[in-house]
Every structure is written in C-alpha cells, then in structure tokens.
Amino acid sequence: MQKVGFFKSIHVKIVLIYILLILIAMQIIGLYFARELEDTLKDSFTNSIGERVDLVEFSVREEIIKKRGEEDPTIEQSLRTVLYSIGSDDINQIRVIDKNFRILATSETTNQSIVGQRSTDSLVRQSIASETPFDNIKLDLQRRDRIWVLASPIIYQGEVLGTIYLESNIETVYRQMNQINRILAGGTATALVITLILGILISQTITRPISDMRRQAQAMAKGNFSRKVRVYGNDEIGQLAIAFNHLTNRLQEAQSTTEGERRKLASVLSNMTEGVIATDRKGRIILINDPALRLLRVPRDMVLHRPISSVLGIETQYTFEDLIHMKESINLDFSSPERPYILLANFSVIQKETGFVNGLITVLHDNTEQEKIDMERREFVANVSHELRTPLTTMRSYLEALVDGAWQDQELAPAFLNVTQTETERMIRLVNDLLQLSKLDSSDYDLNKEFVDFNKFFNRIIDRFEMSKSQQVQFQRLLPESQFFVEIDTDKLTQVIDNIISNALKYSPDGGNIRFGIIVQDGFIKAMISDDGMGIPKDNVERIFDRFYRVDRARARSMGGSGLGLAIAREMIEAHGGAIWAESEEGHGTTIFFTLPFELDEAGEWD
C-alpha cells in the first residue's frame, strides 16, 4: 500500500486550512483593531492636549492685551506664571512666541536663557504666517521617545498676536498600543491553539471515513471485497460510505460473475479441439489457447503481441485489413517434404455496437486429413475412370471391328470375342472390388466369426495354391506345430491370404521361393508371406495398401491387377483387430506381415 506524505494528507490539509483561515481572520481583525485603536488613542491624546492649549491660549491672550501699570509684573513674569500653572507629566514644555518670532516665555525652568531669543522652528513660522495650527510627531534624540509638537496661533480680533509652541510626550500612547498588541498576540496564539485542537477533532470526523474508504479502495484494488467501510453518521459522508459499501457489494458480485464467465471461457477455450486466437484492433495477438499453440507448434511467449498475419505465415499475401474483410476460409500450408500439414483458418471480426472494429477472432483446425481425404477421393475418381475407360475402349474397338465384318472371319472373330469377354470379366472384378470397399468403408457388413486353428487354416490355403501353381516356384513353410485359435471370418481372411499369395506368385521369378511363417508376439499371431520378386522401392512401400496404387502400373495391368486387392486386405485385417504392413528391398523381394488376436487352446499347454 502506498503511503501518503505528511503534507499531502487530507487530515493535515484540513487542519492547516482551518488554522490559516483563523489566522488570516485574526490578522485582519487585529490590524483593523490596532489601527482604529491607535487613531482613537492619538485623537484622545491630542484632544486632551488641545483643550489645555485652548485654556493656555486664553490666559496668554489676556496677559498680552492687558494694560499694565508700573506696579504690575512684566508680561514675561505673568506669562511664566501662567505656563507654570498648567505644567503636567505629558507636557514636556510650552513656549509663548510673539508675532515677531521672539520667545516671550517658556515652561522649562532650566532653559530660561532662550527667553527673548528668536524662534527658528518651522512650525512656529508656518502657524503665524498661515494663522492656523500646525502639529507634527518627531523623535526626541535624547530621550529616544516620540513627542507631539503643536504650534497654535494666538488671535485677537482677527489679528495674530503670536503662537503657542508645545511639546508633549506621545510615547505613552505607543506604549499602550504595544501593550494592547501583546495582549492581542497572546489572545491570537491562544485562539490558534484552541483552533488547532478543534481543527484536529473536526478534521478527524471528516477524514476518518475518507481514510477508511481509501483503505477499502486499496483492498478492492487487490481483489479483497470482504471489508466494509464504517458508517459514522447520516450526513453526506455517511451516505457516501453507505454508497461505497453498496458499490463494494456490486463489484464483488460483478467480479464473481466475471470470474465465473472467465473460467467458463477458459475451460471452453482449453477443451476445444480447434485453436482460437484473438487480436487487438491493431492485429496483435492478445489471447491464444493451447490447441492453437499445438496446431501452430510454437510456444506462447513467441506469439503474444505479434501480428497475426506474421504468426500464420501469410504476411506476404494478406494484411490485417484484408483479414478483417475476409469472408472465406484460408488454407495454411505448413507441409514438409516428410509429411503434409494443412490448417484451415476462419476469421470473425469483433465489433462494437457503433461498428468500430475492436479486434479479430481466428479459429484454426487441422485440415490435413480432410485434404488428404479430398485428394484421395479425387484420385479415386480419376483411377476408377481410368480403370473403366481402358477395358471399355478395348471392348468398343473390338466390337466395332466385329460390326464392320470381322465376325465373319473364322480366325479373328473368336479372338475378338475372347478379348471382349476378358475385359468384361475384368470390369466385373473391378466393380465387385469397389462394391466390397464401399461396404467396408460404410461398415455395412457382418463378420461371420468362428474359432479356428489358424495353423491348419493357413496350411489349407497354402496347399491349394501349391497344387494349382503353374510356374516353377518353391513354397517354404516355417510354421510351428502348435495350435493358434483365432476368431475370424474364414471367407474374408481366405480372400486376404489369397490376394497376398497371388501377388507373390505374380511377381516371383521362376525358380524363386515363397516363404510362409507364423510367430506369437504380444498376444497376437504374426503371419508372414515373403517372395523373391522384384521388390518395391523404399518410398513406395507404405503406399501399396492405398487404393488403385501400383508400383509398376503397366506390368500390374497386364497381369490383371486393379490396385484394390491390398486395400481390401488392409480393411479386412483391421476389421478383425489386427494390422497389415509390408517390408521390401528393391530387387530382393517383398514380405507382407499381418497380425490377428488369438486364444489359447483348452488345455493351455503352450505360451
């Protein structure tokens, strides 16, 4: 589970936002309060000083306009007395200056030497010149205090008599402001601490269910749908938690359904005999089942995310766009010189409801046997046509000759009729062989089986051929004296052995040998018929049991063969539960083997 950074946590963000909002509010309130309080205190201080200045101005004006006798004190003395009478802690000094900028009196007892001197203060000159009061705040360099300086003109009947210059200690106002600011800062700090505590408590009520939902979402991402989010209330967050739990249940149901469908699909794909390949919209393989891998004979990691046309080996003939619009099946030829191997590919497009192509489904199945059957069927039809055309052509030629008058020739007519009869019998044999093969293919026949001693049965057939053979061929019997009981259809097995011995006699030269043998092997008897004939080329040995197949067609036809005898023999032997095959070396003869299941005799005295 990924950890959330401290400052990225919503819990910390809510607390910080809450504190910042309170801090900003307190700062705005503090600044406004400090400014208004400062203005109020300064106004109160200046108004208080101004009221006393007005009293001083009245007394000074009366002293200035007063007519003095000889016994009366001088104006300087009178003004000094007035100034001394209003002295206070917040007033540093007061000076009375006439309209000629001469200092008439001062409240500073230690600085009486300035009386009678001219004042150079700019505020004094401005107040006398403009007949209006002027004030200013400046720093006392000696005391390091701020002082408020006021120059208020003395006016009598519209005439400026002078001005009153006052310096008062306004630093007390700023000290009060500093004290009030410290109190405000302390209150702000206390409020922030309380706000922090309340913010943590409030944020927990919001973030706790959100954290639970985050943990639940992470558990859901890992496939765990068993957890539930705790509902802390019925507010919006509580309703969100309820909806989240409902979503969890729905997702669990959907996942169960999807997993079930996935397992069904996986089971279907894995148990299909056909191969299935799915691609994305760009033609890259995203899914392939095991039968497809077996059919293509490639490992899974070699085909995933590769273009399907490249995997199927058709990139030079078809593009992915061609496959999307492909309506017919495609034969994929993977044949080798040793064996044929052909796959049949069918294509189906995956489309959304809007018609957007989302991919391609390809179904593969092994079409080798079907192609082989189709080829054999075509060869069969061609061979039957050829086999029938030859005798029919011969018969037509001879019959036409007879019609043209050869029937009157005492020497030619019997020969022509004999050839016609021979070709007719040949066609009858061919048709009978074809009918027999057709019955064997359709299983439309019954085997009339009975238990016989195969050794006696085999010897009886050999005796018949040995008595009727015309050429100088020697029969060699390598047969044991033991009894081998087999359950066979004697008529059909007689036909099989007759055909094999007939072929051996046809292809054996005069003075050659035909050998017969029987051995026991793995619950089967293995019979052998071998000749000293011309043999069969190695590449043709396995094909001599195919229908109409002849190694030497011209010679076989001249001997009356149709190429169906060994094919019928294979069908009959396999119908009895055995197998038949040939071993041959060109120029050194051929050996035909066949096997049959056998039973012990009643005494059970042999193995």
Burial of 431: CB neighbours in 10 Å, binned 0-12, 13-18, 19+: middle
* Shared-domain flag, residues 424 and 457: no
Q: How many domains does the chain have?
A: 4
125 dihedral zone (left: phi>0; alpha: psi -120 to 50; beta) = alpha
230 in any annotated domain: no
CATH of the domain at 456: 3.30.565.10
251 in any annotated domain: no
Quick one: CA dihedral 105, 110, 116, 122, positive or negative? negative
pLDDT for position 593: 92
Show which of 155, 177, 199 is a domain's final residue.
177
* Shared-domain flag, residues 295 and 404: no
Helices (H) and strands (E) in the chain, counts: 14, 17
349 lies in which domain range?
273-366
22 in any annotated domain: yes
189 in any annotated domain: no
pTM: 0.41
* Shared-domain flag, residues 405 and 492: no
CB–CB of 440/476 below 8 Å? Answer: no
* Shared-domain flag, residues 362 and 478: no
Task: Give the list of residues 6+ apart from residue 392 with CB closer than 8 angstroms, or none.
Answer: 423, 427
CA–CA separation, 319 vs 385, rounded Å? Answer: 42
* Shared-domain flag, residues 431 and 450: no
* Shared-domain flag, residues 19 and 166: yes
* Shared-domain flag, residues 163 and 27: yes
* Shared-domain flag, residues 335 and 462: no
CB–CB of 21/14 below 8 Å? Answer: no
Question: In what helix (H) or strand (E) does residue 344 lie, and over which residues does it extend?
Answer: strand 342-351
HSE value, Cβ hemisphere, 13 Å, CA-based, for 367: 17
258 in any annotated domain: no
* Shared-domain flag, residues 145 and 29: yes
pLDDT for position 560: 45
CA–CA separation, 256 vs 104, rounded Å? Answer: 108
116 dihedral zone (left: phi>0; alpha: psi -120 to 50; beta) = left
236 in any annotated domain: no
* Shared-domain flag, residues 405 and 480: no
Show which of 319, 341, 366 is a domain's final residue.
366
Whole-angstrom CA distances from 53 to 86, 196, 197, 330 are: 9, 52, 54, 118
CATH of the domain at 116: 3.30.450.20
CA–CA separation, 106 vs 366, rounded Å? Answer: 128
Q: What is the DSSP letter of 520?
A: E
CA–CA separation, 18 vs 607, rounded Å? Answer: 102
* Shared-domain flag, residues 341 and 467: no
Whole-angstrom CA distances from 178 to 139, 169, 173, 184 are: 17, 16, 9, 10
* Shared-domain flag, residues 492 and 505: yes
In degrees and rounded to multiples of 5, residue 596 shows phi and psi of -145, 140
Average pLDDT, consecutive stretches of 10 residues, N- to C-terminus, the chain (607 residues): 52 75 81 82 82 80 72 73 72 82 81 82 85 82 78 84 84 83 83 79 73 76 75 76 83 82 78 85 88 87 89 88 86 82 88 82 84 71 66 77 77 78 73 66 69 88 80 85 85 85 85 88 88 81 72 48 72 86 85 84 44
CATH of the domain at 404: 1.10.287.130
CA–CA separation, 598 vs 527, rounded Å? Answer: 12
CA–CA separation, 426 vs 421, rounded Å? Answer: 9
564 in any annotated domain: yes
Task: Give the list of residues 6+ apart from residue 201 with CB closer than 8 angstroms, or none.
Answer: none
pLDDT for position 368: 81
336 in any annotated domain: yes
**Cβ atoms within 10 A of the Cβ of 583, count?**
13
Show which of 441, 471, 490 is a domain's final residue.
441
